[in-house]
A and B are shown apart, each in its own frame.
Chain A
């Protein structure tokens, strides 16, 4: 790997200043993804600003919800009693991801900002628009088992690999961001972007902006939420597809429902069309399948990825049927 300067930030403001002013600088969190990239030559920063030791490692109960520090480790967050009781989808998503060792090391913000595992992105000897803009996309005509089926572009068919982010999307999380101009809040749904013509940009953050926290609000639906993940290997595998679902029933009527999909798109895919179709009606397997199918009308698949349509439909039905059985 390329020699670089390592800086341990002592405050968030200092970190933001250091990175904002230096286009060759990057933040280092748990390092579970970035150190791979350094070794593989996917990225070659000259300065790493370590933010993993900033005092952003607590989970605070605000009464109306939780404020999760950016440096909270994935394993700690998954085990947090309030996360387990009031936001079970988040705990389950975290535990469905990576391995115990990686979860002990990975941070909340780092998990959100991890990059695709598309095999061509990971291989600097092949063209990839995300890694090298303008070089072309090898995945569209290549190995496509993990390709996006929603919201992809001619430039990129990569999916976002995080499980946690999918749960946070369904839970309507807010991301707290510190920049040179001060702090702002972004709905998690707007943090990641679709690839369009600029797949090199995963998020809407400007260079130097630092995620300091993620905020969750309590709700009945959040309390009755789950995360289900389909994968080829029973553990330690990225999702073929996944679903985070939250449900609140009023008798037999859906009062509130939220659905987010993983393994489907360049970002956690909030299935709002499906949500709208299910809200205010009864909930059963066929209605969920129909709603998911409607959401998936826009899906664009290849020969390797067409299974995702049926799998997303099936896993969404399973998740919501199980939630409805648990609540009624």
Chain B
């Protein structure tokens, strides 16, 4: 059966985080905190050794000194590591660590030190001498040797190039053309909890506590590599200290944890990467550049959008963000052309970071829209209203419920947009130049089939609900209980939810803002089947398990969320320092399951967007090939004092049962989309200086 829409009662109501007390009292256990009461005793600590060059060969891993260090038990290198059976269809160069002597990027894992203490392991790692034959590397997109190519597809399976209408003719006939180059630097997810695992191999089963966004994906990725059946890999992730996409796919430290455990059968191994290593081996958002050309009528109505995106990609494993896809669907230009090009560099492997594609692409397009508004002397909100498409420009499908206009209008009302001077540099407050800016946001409704859920009746009217979903701090554990309660028509307190374990029915990743919708649909479908099987008052011990195949009306409608972001920015007239004093987001995201956890997601997204706007910059030194701003002192993320005094996220009251049976869509990512553009636009309004390269820093205004 396919899930049917449900009546909502608990869904939509405030519900405290069910794991809040455990977390704030320190009792929630993270990946390397499991102890003897859970069977983890006398563990070894694993420490990773990174390649000292960006390309070349390992001649010898000299572990003599390391092994002579008190407490060091073993050093695993490419000669001694277990051979991996299968690293994916084309061979996954990111995961195939310690299999040969090739070095693909600086910081690549070339040895694992195992020791009786973390201190001994770290010292052992320092004393491992990796002798290499260095090759010539290319780690700079601007290098003459960095050749651009068209990937076969880009992230999430999007077409590399896509066009509609005659862009060249439209531009030739346009009165107004705005053209610009916009860039995003390397950005690094940096969840509070680093990538970490506790692993054990007993000769039959590999058991892992892992810091991951997808326990089943870890098991199904590792098992064939290790020559095991998927049932031989048990992965648990009861609590995860953030991921932001970086824990959505397994990365090399997870393989290292498995190889380390298998090198010392019968012993537990703890592995936590250092903050510095997170800049080399756990994924990140690639640097990207967007060339935008907007052609328009004098009143701002778009005739053509051109969006050409360029980004580096690791030579060892391709990953190209879908940066330009936003321009295929956002506005009603009759002609649109989008391309993606990549350059394969000798650099570490990029991956998902909150709203891959939409975040960098929207920075470019929404700043360009602001420039078009100036060029046409049209209010930035009016400009967007004039370019509202009646149907999805990409598919021609009707929208599920595109309410961008309401987001813009309600947001403008609340922010106090009306009466804003179109001229820049017209408002001061003491030493501050003050400006305001706006940007639109969107995120597609992603829904993953293949989610299973199991429901079993218990005594006292209680229900055990199991699904292998992961709560990475979003509140999933809480909202899934709310959804299960409504689906079974019982109170939330009657639900015993189990998540984060491969022994539970398979679940897809906590990513792509798809978790609540995809897992929630599985729970609803299973609950409805359970009632069909066992009725409203089942005896204890009856159970039903189902797996989803479909729900959302993807074929008939274009399913998207929308939003509008408003920012007030202040620039110090003496030093150029930039601060955000107000930041508002208004979103159309379907029914909100839990206003408290939803607000937290949206505020967090806005702040992460602010952080990208003003602070975050991974600086890759092309001479060495690695990112040298590799700690939180030099890679700035927004801290408390950067939080705007007036920070607010709101949403439209609505329900979208085309997308999910409870009417909600994903909310994890949309709030980072457009935020950096709103802030950059406000900085222009404050100063008259147009910054097209993130981050927006003081030196631009001096």
Contact = CB atoms under 8 A, between A and B. Distances in A.
A120 B628 contact: yes
B641 interface: yes
Interface string B672-702: 0000000000000000000000010111001
A3 B71 CA distance: 11
Interface stretch (B80-88, B438-446, B574-582): B574-582
A231 B574 contact: no
Contacts of B619: 119, 143
A236 B639 contact: yes
Interface in A20-66: 39-41
A126 B702 contact: no
Interface string A121-148: 0110110000000000010011100000
The secondary structure that dominates the B interface is: loop
Contact of B628 (A143, A233, A234, A235): A143
B451 to A, nearest CB: 40
B574 A314 contact: yes
Nearest to B71: A3
Contacts of B630: 119, 123
B621 A143 contact: yes
Contacts of B122: 1, 39
A227 interface: no
A3 B124 CA distance: 11
Interface in B116-167: 119, 122-123, 126
A274 to B, nearest CB: 16
A236 B635 CA distance: 12
Contacts of A311: 575-576, 698-699, 702
A238 interface: yes
Interface string B564-603: 0000000010111101000000000000000000000000
Given A126-B628, A142-B621, A318-B431, A119 B702 contact: no
Nearest to B632: A236
B52 interface: yes
A3 B117 CA distance: 12
B106, B431, B579, B633: residue with the most chain A Cβ atoms closer than 10 Å: B633
Contact of A235 (B126, B575, B641): B641
Contacts of A2: 123, 126
B50, B119, B621, B695: residue with the most chain A Cβ atoms closer than 10 Å: B621
B70 A3 contact: yes
Q: How large is the interface on B (under 10, 10 to 19, 20 to 34, 35 or more residues)?
A: 35 or more
Interface string A147-181: 00000000000000000000000000000000000
Contacts of B431: 318
B58 to A, nearest CB: 15
B628 A230 contact: no
Contacts of B702: 307, 310-311, 314
Given A3-B70, A234-B639, A235-B640, A122 B575 contact: no
A18 interface: no
A232 B576 CA distance: 10
Contact of A126 (B572, B615, B624): B624
Contact of A232 (B621, B636, B640): B636
B623 A141 contact: yes
B642 interface: yes
B629 interface: yes
B575 A315 contact: yes
A117 interface: yes
B629 A307 contact: no
B378 interface: no
B299 interface: no
Nearest to A233: B636
A240 interface: yes
Nearest to B578: A232
Contacts of A40: 276
B375 interface: no
A311 B571 CA distance: 13
A235 B639 CA distance: 7
Contacts of B615: 232-233
B107 to A, nearest CB: 9
A90 interface: no
B698 A307 contact: yes
Nearest to A2: B123
A264 interface: no
B621 A138 contact: yes
Given A117-B633, A126-B624, A307-B699, A230 B639 contact: no
B395 interface: no
Contact of A125 (B52, B629, B640, B695): B52
A265 interface: no
B614 interface: yes
Nearest to B614: A232
A220 to B, nearest CB: 25
Contacts of A307: 576, 698-699, 702
A40 B276 CA distance: 10
A1 B119 contact: yes
Contact of B698 (A230, A236, A318): A230
A238 B636 CA distance: 11
B394 interface: no
A119 B626 CA distance: 12
B699 A234 contact: no
A230 B573 CA distance: 12
A121 B636 CA distance: 18
B631 A122 contact: yes
B49 to A, nearest CB: 11
A208 to B, nearest CB: 26
Given A39-B122, A307-B698, A234 B574 contact: no
A119 B639 contact: no
A313 to B, nearest CB: 9
Interface in B32-89: 50, 52, 70
Contacts of B426: none
A123 B628 contact: yes
Nearest to A98: B633
Nearest to A161: B633
Interface in B541-579: 572, 574-577, 579
A233 B697 CA distance: 10
Contacts of A122: 631, 634
Contacts of A117: 633-634
A234 B697 contact: no
Closest 10 CB pairs of A and B: A307-B699, A235-B641, A234-B641, A318-B574, A314-B574, A310-B702, A230-B575, A119-B628, A41-B126, A143-B619
8 contacts: A119-B629, A125-B52, A126-B624, A230-B575, A230-B576, A230-B698, A231-B577, A232-B615
Given A142-B628, A232-B695, 19 more contacts: A3-B70, A3-B119, A119-B634, A120-B628, A123-B628, A125-B52, A126-B624, A142-B621, A142-B623, A230-B577, A233-B639, A233-B641, A234-B641, A236-B641, A238-B633, A307-B698, A310-B702, A314-B575, A315-B574
